[in-house]
Amino acid sequence: MKKIILSIDGMTCSACSNGLEKYLNKQNGIINASVNLVLANAFIEYDEKILNQEKLERFVQEAGFKSLGEFKEIKSNSNNKKQKILFIAFTFLAIIVMYISMGHMLNLPTLKIINPYSNPINYCIVLLIFTIAFIAYGFDIIKNGYKNLIHKSPNMDTLVAIGVISSFLYSLYSMYMIIKGTHHEIHNLYFESAAIVIYFIKLGRYIDKISKDKTKEAIQKLVEITPKNAVVKVNGIEKTVTLDEIHKGDIIVCKPGEKIAVDGQIVLGKTHIDESLITGESKPALKTVGQKVIAGSVNYDGYIEYTAEKIGKESRISEIVRLVVEASNTKAPIAKLADTVSGYFVPAVIIIAILTFIIYLILGFDFATSIITFVTVLVVACPCSLGLATPLAIVISEGLCAKNGILVKKSEILENAQKVNTIIFDKTGTLTYGKLKISDVINYTNLDNDKIIQLVASLENKSTHPIAKAFTDYLKENKLELLPVNNFENISGYGIIGNIDNNELLLGNSKLLDKYEIENIHLEDETDLTSKRKQYYICCKKQRNNCFNWCE
């Protein structure tokens, strides 16, 4: 069994995705197929002995859609600006069409040259020109609608296409009668209906697109965790390359503050690396020669060289993105129900519209009233609100979870989450701030606490060690200024040294004191502090005064 995710073009509503999914699942060799409307892709599990990618893409084409090849990344639409301008332009045109066709009904001032009563032919021609422009704007809807009807998988576009073309053709007939002199046919013109229906469908899709783009952005941020470029060392010479140019076995250089480009193993140097995006651990881990590094993690304070081991799709971050995309393609029980209903909805609406048209004629209504009722049923019955809302809510939820480091393996887990009544946490940083902070100051000097912190933070500001940020943050929070530091020196594994106001200051652990043969008269206190159990105060949210002590 093999898995593949294909990018699909041409899906515009839930009926499209549902129809394609049904068609794929009917094919011999396909074990399971799930189509995602929001991300515009199809996740397919198939027997590689029977099928290959070329045959799968042919199935997609037979169903009335187009495969854009294997899904590699979520791409932002470069035509967004152009589409927005076009939409705004047609919004103004829609207002003009409504004014021309209905302004006289509201006794609004109108141009005599296009007045329906004084110049009915001019009135018809102007509306015809505007309607043709709207049909050209919504030609993708009409084309897709009839294409899916031919492929026996009618969708919402089919409803709109039948309704719009029916209104347009009947209006052309009425226009012909007006030209021949039957001016009362002016009341049977429905050019504006065809134009406005297309506009409102485009409006709905524009709003849907904004929601989809926000979802894509959330998942796209996962991809952007890794840097775009890296420095590769070849024969002692450093060269900046893109990630696509990195090969397995290449030696990659990573300096303090930079991100790890690909998964690999350190061959030179040591450093602290923030791997919280993968491990959830807020404290940076010390990495030395022989240890693994993960793409996207941040190098804090050391120079390292590492060999590239897992690149492209093999990297751990790429695997996470793949899992998120696969999860968004799984169906929650409520989504399956929505797909089932919307799948039967379109054919049912077409049948109801035809029956309505026939019944109206039988009851003695004229042809114009019957055709308008027929069109109304087709256009008003839109299954997208049912079939799109549920999967869109699920995908948005999964995108937000991914953004916050929560990976959802299957969509049904989100639905089952409502049944959870107990959560057990066992991860540093989950219930805490997730970053180092100063909790207390024990002062043995004649200086006040703020002065001690000011001296320490000024030294630490020159360091790239993870603990340094805790001091500089404290300085900012208490609005204290940094002091100038001279002759700064970082002694790896021990601490730092610097000169402030002509005084040499040493800052570090007990090993630093031993190194400079300074007697540690507070060793007993240090031992006591490092072994002391931390005390927490837990308060009930409803009874803020009811607090009790809890020792770890």
Q: Catalytic site residues?
A: 426
First-to-last CA distance in the chain? 49
Asked if residues 254 and 304 have their Cβ atoms less than 8 Å apart, the reply is: yes
Asked if residues 160 and 378 have their Cβ atoms less than 8 Å apart, the reply is: yes
Cα–Cα distance measured from residue 45 to residue 408, given in angstroms and rounded to the nearest whole number: 19
| Dihedral over Cα of 471, 476, 482, 485: its sign | positive
Q: Pick from 32, 91, 88: which is nearest to 56 by CA?
A: 32
Structure tokens at 357: 């048209």
Amino acid 494 reads Y
3-state DSSP call for residue 2?
A: strand
Q: Strand pairing partners for 298?
A: 259, 274
DSSP 181-228: T-GGGGGG--HHHHHHHHHHHHHHHHHHHHHHHHHHHHHHHHHTTS-S
538 burial (CB, 10 Å; 0-12 / 13-18 / 19+) is exposed
Cα–Cα distance measured from residue 102 to residue 262, given in angstroms and rounded to the nearest whole number: 63
Cα–Cα distance measured from residue 284 to residue 282, given in angstroms and rounded to the nearest whole number: 6
Structure tokens at 169: 């053709």
32 burial (CB, 10 Å; 0-12 / 13-18 / 19+) is middle
Asked if residues 19 and 62 have their Cβ atoms less than 8 Å apart, the reply is: no
Structure tokens at 496: 């730092």
Residues 6 or more apart whose Cβ sits within 8 Å of residue 214: 396
Cα–Cα distance measured from residue 159 to residue 346, given in angstroms and rounded to the nearest whole number: 7
Cα–Cα distance measured from residue 48 to residue 481, given in angstroms and rounded to the nearest whole number: 66
Q: Pick from 231, 381, 405, 216: which is nearest to 317 by CA?
A: 405
Amino acid 340 reads T
